[in-house]
Amino acid sequence: MISYTDALNIIMAEASPLPHTEIALTDAISMVLAEDIISSVQVPPFANSAMDGYALLAADTARDSAPSPIKLPISQSIPAGTDLLPKQLAPGTAAEIMTGAPVPPGADSVIPVEMTKRDNDTLILDAPYESERNVRAAGEDMKPGQIVARKGQCISAALVPTLCALGKGRFPVIPRPKAVWLSTGRELVDDLSAPLSPSQIYNSSGPYGESILPALGADMMWRRTVGDDGDSFREAMRDALRGDADVIISTGAVSVGKFDFVRAELEAMGATILLHRAKVKPGKPILFAKLPDGRHFFGLPGNPVSTAMGLRVFVAPFLRALSGQQPEPMIKATLKTTVKTTPRLTSFLKGNIGISEDGRLVATVLSGQESFRVAPMVDMNTWIVYPEGTENIEKGSLVDCIPFTPLEI
């Protein structure tokens, strides 16, 4: 059996970014930039006032050149959004100006209205005022030629003000990968209000996949529960392949049981099995295949925690690469208690990261690690990674953590 790292490498070697498309900003949230965004303009586009007040030339208020109190005739009033270019400020005068309005040529400072007095059309100052105050220079925020956002960056609300300020309404983006999800298992019941017959259980992994997949960077097109027979699996596969899903994910039927048909069905349809089983716990029977048309298939093991682990540890990095993003870095946290595990394989433990009194990340391994036990997932916000070869990890050591969903940092 191959190691976790080798298994991940096999998967990542198959992942290349999906073709990009041009899309409107409002539709581009959560998609990934396919190119650097370079400013072609300056922002702000013109020098403008940061305050409601009066634009003036500070030198006109200097003590040696001005009587006390200082009186400046108000020569113009400049609102934000004015159609007219402000007139040159005549020496010895001031211009009434609003926040965001263009600063007139000849002025070098804006004094806030609350620091002034006014007598009809005369501005009265008790003291000289400094130059270069409250003027936002043209291009102070962004300059032409400046890279403002990078290829591979996920478009979040944080980018929106910048992209709007540049007047960029459309972008080349890599669309979010699309997935189809097939739950195998004759014992599964989808209707959560239906009573269970003996040996039935509710399908928990299908709804789990549907709820977490968007946070892992993909959209679920549809999902179906297909029982334990090849016929309904084949029919679901045909439906999936007729659509434009980028990846098909199944759960269950990848181990060695009598009804574990996924591998055989894939082989019968001409798929190449690239990976089946890895030295990981949970999730050991993980399967990854390339379908005849070049699309990819993940067979996640059926135990619900194994499904969750396979999705986060193997599928999520693949989806991330399909959308043109860089691999996520692992997070390190200090382990709170010594925990033993098996050195034969890499363990992914249900864990919780908290913040210590001195602000450090501390990791706790939760009790109830068996792969059928979903209740501990309620307290879980991370997978704690114990690499193959590790006998135990002592309290106080740093451990690798894979947060439950990727952190946008």
Ligand X SMILES: Nc1nc2c(c(=O)[nH]1)N[C@H]1C(S)=C(S)[C@@H](COP(=O)(O)OP(=O)(O)OC[C@H]3O[C@@H](n4cnc5c(N)ncnc54)[C@H](O)[C@@H]3O)O[C@H]1N2
**Cα distance from N-terminal residue to C-terminal residue, the chain:** 35
Name the minimum Å distance from CB 48 to ligand X.
58
Q: Which is nearer to ligand MOO, 61 or 303 (CB)?
A: 303
290-309: contacts with ligand MOO (CB under 6 A): 301, 303, 306
Among 108-116, 123-131, 219-227, 276-284, which window interacts with ligand MOO (CB under 6 A)? 276-284
What, of ligand MOO, ligand X, none, does residue 316 touch, CB below 5 to 8 Å by kind?
Answer: none
- Minimum gap (Å) between residue 27 Cβ and ligand X: 32
Does 177 bind ligand MOO (CB under 6 A)? Our answer is no
List the one residue from 209, 252, 282, 324 that touches ligand MOO (CB under 6 A): 282
Per-residue tokens: 24: 């409107």
Closer to ligand MOO by CB, 216 or 278: give it: 278
Q: What are phi and psi of 105, to 5 degrees?
A: -60, 145
| Residue nearer to ligand X on the CB measure, 49 or 303 | 303
State the residues that interact with ligand X by CB under 6 A. Answer: 183-185, 187-188, 201, 203-206, 251-257, 260, 282, 284-285, 301-304, 306, 371
Report, in Å, the least distance between residue 286 CB and ligand X: 9
Q: Give buried/exposed letters for 25-60 (b at 16+ CB in 10 A, else e).
A: beebebbbbbeebebeebbbeebbbebbbbbbbbeb
**Residue 250 engages ligand MOO in binding (rule: CB under 6 A):** no
If the CB atoms of residues 171 and 288 are measured against ligand MOO, the closer one turns out to be 288
Minimal distance, residue 143 CB to ligand X, in Å? 54
Partner whose footprint covers residue 252, from ligand MOO, ligand X, none (CB < 5 to 8 Å by kind): ligand X
Name the binder of 187 from ligand MOO, ligand X, none, CB < 5-8 A by kind.
ligand X
Residue closer to ligand MOO (CB basis): 236 or 345: 345
Considering the complex, state which of residue 281 and residue 312 has its C-beta at the smaller distance from ligand MOO.
Answer: 281
Would you give the binding string for ligand MOO spanning residues 344-373, x where CB under 6 A is met? Answer: ---------------------------x--
Among residues 342, 353, 336, 335, the alpha carbon closest in space to that of 398 is found at 335
Q: Which does 345 bind (CB under 5 to 8 A by kind): ligand X, ligand MOO, none?
A: none
According to DSSP, the residues that pair with 300 across neighbouring strands are: 251
Q: Which is nearer to ligand MOO, 344 or 395 (CB)?
A: 344
Taking CB under 6 A as the criterion, which residues in 32-51 touch ligand MOO?
none
Contact criterion met (CB below 8 Å) for 365 and 341:
no
Q: Are 124 and 73 in contact (CB under 8 A)?
A: no
Mode of pairing for the β-strands spanning 32-33 and 178-183: unpaired
Residue among 333, 342, 390, 407 nearest 365 (CA): 333
C-beta closer to ligand X: residue 48 or 371: 371
For residue 4, what is the enclosing H or E element?
helix 4-13
Residues that bind ligand MOO (CB under 6 A): 281-284, 301, 303, 306, 371
